[in-house]
Chain A
Amino acid sequence: MQHNNVYERIHNALSWKRIIAFNAILFLVTVIPLSVRLAQEDTENRSSAAEIPVVIPPAAYPTTAPEIERVTEWFGKKGDTVVILGKSFGNYQWESTLYIGNVEVNESNIVRWSNNILEVQIPEQARTGKVWIVVNNRQATWEGSLLLTDVSRSAQIILARTSDTSGTVSIRNGAGIVRGMIEIAHVSEPLVISSNIGKITSSLSVDSLGKKTKAEFVLDQPMGSATSQILTIEYPGIGVVEILRAELYDNAGRLVPVYADPLGAKMN
């Protein structure tokens, strides 16, 4: 009798109207998440694409003096873009001036000006020479020289990996080179640079962008035009190793134009 009562109570309590109404509610509750799930099945997710950058309102000249830490790349053709990395350039150019290859850069050649990064096209009148900036009457000069290169008449520097923890630096078309300096950026240390064709001294320094080791070398005899391996690099194998700058001199003391292929200037 107890069971009969339960079945009868269910049978009487659940009218078909109630059942249909309950299913309608279930449908309404599940249709939205179900639709989203089904739509996502053939979809890949991608976030933050094409976000609009935050616009920083104008500010005054920086209170500290400007400082140029790196110029990348250290070589280029007229019209190529170089990136100048440093500090206290100011958020806007205002009356600041920038000189590339001994020539003042016009406003039309400045791609981007920010407090730490300048992107600049090498002006038509530029020649191999210094890079400096004047911000609010305070000047900063890059220690290196920007090399204007013609690929067909320039030496090429090549950084090549030889194992997980080592690489070599070679020069192609570098006839007459007797001495020089190569600066290498790296993440892990120690980075040991050696040479078996001359004398070498190296020094480690750190800027706000990371570690860099400068190797100055004097060759036992002038280099030929064939590809010559001049340096061997050993490092822990962690992080990127990249040529930051090169200055090569011939036996008359002249600066030799040198360039690097983007695929041959970095070990990832």
Chain B
Amino acid sequence: MAYVTYQDGGGHVASEVESSVKVGAVVKIISLFGFVVILLVFLFVRKVFLKPGVSSVSITDGIGGLEFRIPYKNTLYENFGFVQDPRVTIPLKTTSGYKDTTFLLDSGAVVSTMPLQVAHDTGVDLARAKRITLQGFSGVPSFAYLDEITVMIGDSEYVLPASFTESSSTTHILGRKGLFDDFTIKFDHEDRAIIITRKDA
């Protein structure tokens, strides 16, 4: 009986030791993949609670008053990596009034360019416009027609030269001619923003 009692007492002590060893081993195994757990928690929290921040394009007047704040996306080019893709939405004058239109602000483009249909919407007579050719990536030229568009920036109308192209891949592009004459445009890479300030008259 005494032997049995000794065994019981000894078993209790042994069980306590075994429990702490078990817990320690389990904690260590979990810790072994602790980074993965932290990572999964981070991704979950980021997806549910932390919406990705958006960069913005700001258009300001001469004294810095904000007129527009428009988000834009990064673009991953196959050969150039990540490039900020500044798109601005401004009213474009059409035959049925001003319509908000999103343009890619392209300091590398000589002149604003948009699809042929926009000429119809803005009342441009293509038959009177000068016809030029643009080079497509396939090497086959496509025609473009030179005329003008009217856009509203802030509360002022601006007439910009524009080309209307037959190319199906054309998007709405704001180029340098006209726009860069009246505005100072600062590409702030650090703040991921483009500041467009009207030049003093």
B101 CB–A CB distance under 8 Å: no
B28 CB–A CB distance under 8 Å: yes
- Of the residues B22, B52, B125, B143, contact of A73 by C-beta under 8 Å: B143
Per the 8 Å Cβ criterion, residues 125-143 of B in contact with A are 125-128, 130-133, 135, 137, 139-141, 143
Closest to A47 in B: B78
The answer for the CA separation of A10 and B125 in the assembled complex, in Å, is 82
Q: Which residues of A contact B131 (CB under 8 A)?
A: 73, 76-77, 80-81
B75 touches A44 (CB 8 A): yes
B76 CB–A CB distance under 8 Å: yes
Closest to B127 in A: A151
A7 CB–B CB distance under 8 Å: yes
Number of interface residues of B (CB under 8 A): 45
The answer for the CA separation of A14 and B33 in the assembled complex, in Å, is 12
Q: Mark B4-36, 1 if CB is under 8 A from A, else 0.
A: 000000000000001001101100110111111
B69 CB–A CB distance under 8 Å: no
Minimum Cβ distance to chain A for residue B114 (Å): 14
A205 CB–B CB distance under 8 Å: no
Number of interface residues of A (CB under 8 A): 47
B156 CB–A CB distance under 8 Å: no
Q: A79-B130, A81-B143, A263-B116 are in contact. Are A39 and B82 (CB under 8 A)?
A: yes
B: which residues have CB within 8 A of A?
A: 18, 21-22, 24-25, 28-29, 31-36, 39, 52, 73-80, 82, 85, 116-117, 119-120, 125-128, 130-133, 135, 137, 139-141, 143, 145, 166
**Interchain residue pairs A-B with the least CB separation, the first 5:** A47-B78, A80-B131, A10-B25, A23-B35, A14-B28
- Beyond the given pairs A16-B31, A23-B31, A46-B77, 16 more chain A to chain B contacts, judged by CB atoms under 8 angstroms and listed by A's residue number, are A4-B18, A8-B21, A23-B35, A30-B39, A44-B74, A46-B76, A48-B79, A51-B137, A76-B131, A80-B131, A80-B132, A81-B143, A83-B143, A112-B141, A117-B141, A263-B119
A: which residues have CB within 8 A of B?
A: 4, 6-8, 10-11, 14, 16, 19, 22-23, 26-27, 30, 34, 39-51, 53, 73, 76-77, 79-81, 83, 111-112, 117, 119, 151, 156, 259-263
